[in-house]
Amino acid sequence: MKVLTDEHLPREVAAALRQKWPSFDAVSIFDTSYRGLPDPPLLEILDADKRVLVTRDVNSVPRHAKARLAEGKTHGGIIQTASARRRAGADSAPDRSGGKARRGGLDLPLRLALNSKR
């Protein structure tokens, strides 16, 4: 599976995915020229590359993905995960750490998946 973690996730998430599942072609947006690119052209690029977007963005990415589908276009796929803090309402701002993980900064579902023994 080819995935791109976006600016809402620390750079280390892509590295952790590669370590946990070596068959994953996981790349952080911080390690590409796509950083800062608006969602519509990013979704276009990911569709052409057959790469899935992994994001916390529950606002603009779904809206742009639906617009693409309404136009008869596809996208590479989207995996959305909300942080435990955001679900609790304590963290409404996206991660702007420049891709550096903060203590406890990984999404709870990703943390659980990366720590699973499967």
- What pLDDT digit, counting tens, does each position of 80-96 carry? 886 544 444 444 444 44
Q: Which domain holds residue 48?
A: 2-115
Q: How many domains does the chain have?
A: 1
Binned at pLDDT 50, 70 and 90, residue 58 comes out as confident
Order of strands, sheet of 78-80, starting from the edge strand that comes earlier in the sequence: 25-28, 2-5, 52-55, 78-80
Is residue 41 packed enough to be buried (19+ CB in 10 Å), middle (13-18) or exposed (0-12)?
A: exposed
Residue 45 · residue 38 · CB < 8 Å: no
pTM: 0.71
**Using CA atoms, how far apart are residues 101 and 98, in angstroms rounded to an integer?**
9
